[in-house]
Structure 1
Amino acid sequence: MTGELSPIDTAKFVAARRAADMVQSGMRVGLGTGSTAAWLVRCLAEAVRERDLHFRGVPTSTRTAEMARDLGLEVITLEEAGWLDITIDGADEFDGELNLIKGGGGALLHEKIVASASDRMVVIADAAKEVESLGAFPLPVEVIPFGWKATQTLIDEALTAMDVMGKTIELRPGADGPYRTDEGNLILDLKLTRIGNPRQLAMVLNQVPGVVENGLFVDICDQVVIGHADGRVTLRDVTADTVSEEQYDVGGDGNAFGDLGE
């Protein structure tokens, strides 16, 4: 990579670099999916080269698995790992209680399984992902292909009793027909604008026949690492109820990022 990073990529990079420092040799690590998680994989590959870090990664998608292998990281399955020490992943939105919306990249089912099978889940995000109330980002719901239109109707009926501002539901498109997850399922994107009670909505959605999982991550995230365009990193820990801040020297010539590759 050459030249300067954009402000948003700088924020993602410093968040990923701080989270990569949490990984210690011998750990079993869940590797998330998405643009910020991709920065994490690059930072971990750099740590393997520069500080002789040894760990085994469990990717949450085929995309992350391919990237990790290409960068020389050891990749195993969740079955082989058994249980994880830490999962580090991005988020489409998070609120003050570290409730999340995830699944913009289509891997919400694997992401939730991996995060739930970890001692600790850490979210890495740029500051723009923090919201007062979840819902501005469409909520992904993974559904089986059979009878998906009936499932959509049932979801629409269920939303009538929920504390949400809107209830538009769209089938996510892919490159050639509907988008398909790694499990071959479909995704319905719920445009709700505001979600008043994420915990209640998550429970109700998962009771609808045909729904596999939803993108609300409630009581799963332990820490969030927030990156800023000026190189600052804010670390918020919901369990310890602490907030700390660090500063990274990002420079102006892009040299700090040159060894990460494209």
Structure 2
Amino acid sequence: MTSKSDDLKKKAAFRALELVVPGMRLGLGTGSTAKHFVAGLGEKCAAGLDVICVPTSEETRQQAMALNIPLANLDELGGLDLTVDGADEMDAGLTLIKGGGAALLREKIVAAASARMIVIADDSKLVDRLGVFPLPVEVNPFAHETTAQMICEVISMNGLSGEVALRGGDNPVVTDGGHYIYDCALGLIEDASSLSEALLNIPGVVEHGLFLGLATGAVLACENGLKEFGDL
């Protein structure tokens, strides 16, 4: 038996599947909503759809391989036509927080290599301003506590405050790239662009979960239908 939230995610995923045409180079997202998109794509590929795909995580890679979805290396393709992925938060301007599934680095690389990025989610992910969901920051394990201290200083310099916690605590979560993640509970982020730049200037920070200017459209499912944002 599926939950109401899961049903909504399926609706958004199936709408995004309508955007896929033969010959496309696709980026496959990671997370609970993206799984529905990959599952639906697997059915279309079994029925003869000709596409080539790049997964954003090992988890998605395993799902796609099990469904016999054709996969390739992003370096080989040189670019993508469309990436479909979820989000942990999204505002009306298509600015996102991602990384709840610890795949933010590969997700951002794939999104940046795509002509279009479509977000699929239920409408609980739509917020007036980002920051209620803790911002993930991916760091190199070397001296990561020192890096975390610098993250705290940058957060303070940007007029923000909140707990900065290592995901997994004594048993840190390790990303596909071999990194750690610090989750920053900041409340509302007033200037995402400034915070983004400051975080990336910290030695030891690999990437963060603010996705700025990457999403071109979104499909959010609510109880009475679908809401579409941007250009699909």
- TM-score per shorter chain, which class? over 0.9
AA partner of residue 182 (structure 2): L
Deviations 1:6-26, CA, capped at 9 Å, x for gaps:
210111000000001111111
Q: CA deviation at 1:233?
A: 1.6
In structure 2, the CA distance between the partners of 1:136 and 1:37, relative to structure 1 (3 Å rule), is same
Deviations 1:63-104, CA, capped at 9 Å, x for gaps:
000000101111111112210001110000000111000000
Q: CA–CA distance in 2 between the matches of 1:125 and 1:43?
A: 15
Matched, 1:49 2:46: yes
CA contact (8 A) 2:25 2:80 kept: yes
CA contact (8 A) 1:163 1:195 kept: no
AA partner of residue 111 (structure 2): A
List alignment gaps of at least 5 residues for structure 2: none
Matched, 1:235 2:228: yes
Larger gyration radius, structure 1 or structure 2: 1
Q: CA deviation at 1:163?
A: 3.9
- 2:91 aligned residue: 95
Matched, 1:220 2:220: no
Match of 1:10 among 7, 14, 37: 7
Q: CA deviation at 1:27?
A: 0.6
Match of 1:115 among 111, 125, 135: 111
Q: CA deviation at 1:49?
A: 3.2
- 1:191 aligned residue: 185
Percent of pairs with identical residues: 45
Q: CA–CA distance in 1 between the matches of 2:212 and 2:203?
A: 21
Partner of 1:225, secondary structure, is strand
- 2:173 aligned residue: 179
- 1:257 aligned residue: none
Match of 2:203 among 205, 209, 217: 209
Q: Which moved more, 1:41-50 or 1:79-88?
A: 41-50
- 2:134 aligned residue: 138
Aligned alpha-carbon RMSD (Å): 1.4
Matched, 1:19 2:19: no
AA partner of residue 37 (structure 1): A
TM-score by length of 1: 0.85
CA contact (8 A) 1:10 1:228 kept: no
CA contact (8 A) 1:10 1:229 kept: no
Q: Which moved more, 1:96-105 or 1:76-85?
A: 76-85
Partner of 1:188, secondary structure, is strand
In structure 2, the CA distance between the partners of 1:62 and 1:155, relative to structure 1 (3 Å rule), is same
Partner of 1:12, secondary structure, is helix
